Chains A and B, each alone.
Chain A
Amino acid sequence: MLSSTGRYALLLLALLIALFPLFWLVRTSISTRRIALAEEPVWLFKPTFDAYRSVFESDYPRYLMNSAVVVTASVAMVMILGTLAGYSLARFPIRGKEDWFFYVITTRMGPPVAFALPFYIIYERTDLLDSYLGMIVMYVVVNLAFAVWMTRSFFEDIPKSQEESAMVDGLSRLQAFLRVTLPQAAPGLIATAIFIFIIAWNEFFYAAMLTRDSARTFTTALPQFVGFSRIRWEEMAAASVVSVAPVMVFAALVRRNLVRGLTFGAVK
């Protein structure tokens, strides 16, 4: 339909539109206060890392660390629980299986606002507010449905005969799962883990509701750059770049797995 150059041109355009905000972010992070606030955008200027310096000297790194701990722990938990649940749903004849599955999915269907207050009350009574454990549990609850759903479909794509063959060859069911099924499901599982990581990493609402300061994640720390007299754009940009960078690097590293996992079932 479109010529080769036409297609490339379109792709380039889409790429430019998608990447422009990121570019602007980085540009703002290395600009001075004057340039950041300028009415007419200045394109060429001498970059400065002052913004980064002040971000690192503030409390921000601590919030970043909180995010890292909470998100990594919850992703690990979710993947362990979700993978085992997904495998069971894919393989075993459980009575009322589809009902259980639907029930798990519904946990993701409600709006966060509806759950916020009940959770707040529970957390307050059980002393989980503003704690690592509280946030980890919250993120597990939020992401489990997605993990179960995704892992189930990846396991269903692997024929049962793979494990059965391994079982006849000399492995128990658990060993067959670990040595034969998991390696083959790995791309899909990695893709799921990355998705969940990104969801949890960017999560704002529950973080805002259930943390104060000691377990505060970076998402709710960013608004702190809205100052009394002005919005500290260049610092907010620097903080954002620092927060976005780990995810981007991570995704770039596992890029091949990510694509493979996303298209796993697509080509038969």
Chain B
Amino acid sequence: MKVSADRLEKSFGDVVAVDGVSLEVEDGEFLVLLGPSGCGKTTTLRIMAGLERADSGHVYIGEQCVDDLPPKDRDIAMVFQDYALYSYMSIFQNIAFPLKVRRQLSKVEIAERVRATARQLEIEHLLDRRPTETSGGERQRVALARAIIRQPRAFLLDEPLSNIDAKLRVLMRAELKVLHRRLQTATICVSHDQLDAMTLGTRIAIMDRGQVRQIGTPLETYTRPVDLFVASFLGMPPINLIEAQLNGSGGVDIGTGLDRTAVKLPPPVLDAAERHASQPDVILGIRPEQLQPTYHLEDGILQGDVYVVEPIGSDQYAYVTLATGERVISRAEPRAELTVDTRIAVKWNLGETLVFDKVTGLRIAPS
């Protein structure tokens, strides 16, 4: 069922937590609310669950406005960051709890459903244990089982992967995706981890200081970020941002004084920049994977010195201080031999360059 929020606002005293947030999630969609701590994503989720009351704005489940409904009547399920398993009940009783409380099914039917759900999440062997006798990953599956057993209209997940170690997180991400594909229930998930958002979400809503900056598919938000904030938040290592000035001769100038270098920009990028930029100062954004260090100095556009090398096995990143003064991160071939404090040239995939207005921070889009 479609879940939507319409211009939600919420303040705690003087602090504005949610500032006009609107969003929509249909069945089959997995929307991730992504943003740094304090951006209002968890508050938004809680308002949609009914655990907080918005100062203004509405929450709809289907066509129904649920503003005045308590959480229990909204027919949604929520998985909390700490899983909130009832420590004095067995795993079986934990999973059965939502059904037991509603008193619509017989004990036998409940037991059947619990076993089926547990089997689905591969936790049948844990049913007789207590929450304290299970691992973090197992607890998360119990929390998920408890959420899906009711077959609710929507799922709300609060940082589901935050409390899991890195390796398990990769596995759980895949499992969540499989689960979502199978259930197709509208899901809203809160995360501060951009990798979780990119891998899990069918769409991402990036939030900052109570406002939604951009909603789009992972690829859209990555390749066409609406502003500097979104561009910097997505992508690891983060995007390189270089200050430049339109030089009126087919490109931009980077750097100052004697190191000032002209860089020619390809037509679509240049057109947009020249047409929309309010003044010659712009900020260029280029992702690390679009920059490649090379010892063949004639092949690169700018030169610089390597100051850190990060060989992570599948990839290799070189941190470079350009001759013009900026520091950038570039991606090298995984097996390339790079040495610190050596001079390299940076090959630059100019067509992928993003241009941002220096004053507003908004991206200048090619038409």
User: A164 to B51, Cβ gap below 8 A?
Assistant: yes
User: Which B residues touch A166, using CB under 8 A?
Assistant: 86, 97, 101
User: B70 to A165, Cβ gap below 8 A?
Assistant: no
Stretch of B76-84, B196-204, B267-275 at the chain-chain interface = B76-84
CB distance from A48 to the nearest CB of B (A): 50
Which of B80, B86, B146 is A164 in contact with, Cβ under 8 Å? B80
Task: From known contacts A165-B78, A168-B76, A171-B101, infer whether A159 and B70 are also in contact, taking CB-CB under 8 Å.
Answer: no
User: Which A residues touch B150, using CB under 8 A?
Assistant: 169
User: Which A residues touch B77, using CB under 8 A?
Assistant: 168-169
User: A172 to B70, Cβ gap below 8 A?
Assistant: yes
User: Which B residues touch A159, using CB under 8 A?
Assistant: 82, 84
User: A167 to B80, Cβ gap below 8 A?
Assistant: no
User: B82 to A170, Cβ gap below 8 A?
Assistant: no
User: B146 to A169, Cβ gap below 8 A?
Assistant: yes
Chain A residues bordering chain B, tally (CB within 8 A) = 15
User: A168 to B86, Cβ gap below 8 A?
Assistant: no
> Which parts of A169-221 form the interface with B (CB within 8 Å)?
169-172, 180, 183-184
By beta carbon, the residue of chain B nearest A170 is B101
CB distance from A257 to the nearest CB of B (A): 13
**Which of B97, B146, B150: most chain A Cβ within 10 A?**
B97
Is B230 an interface residue when CB atoms closer than 8 A count as contact?
no
Chain B residues bordering chain A, tally (CB within 8 A) = 22
- Kindly state the separation between the CA atoms of A165 and B102 in the bound complex, as whole angstroms: 14
User: B87 to A168, Cβ gap below 8 A?
Assistant: no
User: Which A residues touch B70, using CB under 8 A?
Assistant: 167, 172
Task: From known contacts A161-B80, A165-B78, infer whether A170 and B86 are also in contact, taking CB-CB under 8 Å.
Answer: no
Is A263 an interface residue when CB atoms closer than 8 A count as contact?
no
- Kindly state the separation between the CA atoms of A96 and B98 in the bound complex, as whole angstroms: 36
CB distance from B164 to the nearest CB of A (A): 17
CB distance from A31 to the nearest CB of B (A): 49
Q: Mark B138-177, 1 if CB is under 8 A from A, else 0.
A: 0000000010001000000000000000000000000000
12 more CB-based (< 8 A) A-B contacts, given A161-B80, A162-B86, A165-B80: A161-B82, A165-B78, A166-B86, A166-B97, A167-B51, A167-B72, A168-B72, A168-B78, A169-B77, A180-B86, A184-B86, A184-B88
CB-CB nearest 8 A-B residue pairs: A165-B84, A161-B84, A170-B101, A169-B98, A161-B80, A168-B71, A168-B78, A170-B72
> Which chain A residues have a beta carbon within 8 Å of chain B's beta carbons?
159, 161-162, 164-172, 180, 183-184
> Which chain B residues have a beta carbon within 8 Å of chain A's beta carbons?
49-51, 70-72, 76-78, 80-82, 84, 86-88, 97-98, 101-102, 146, 150
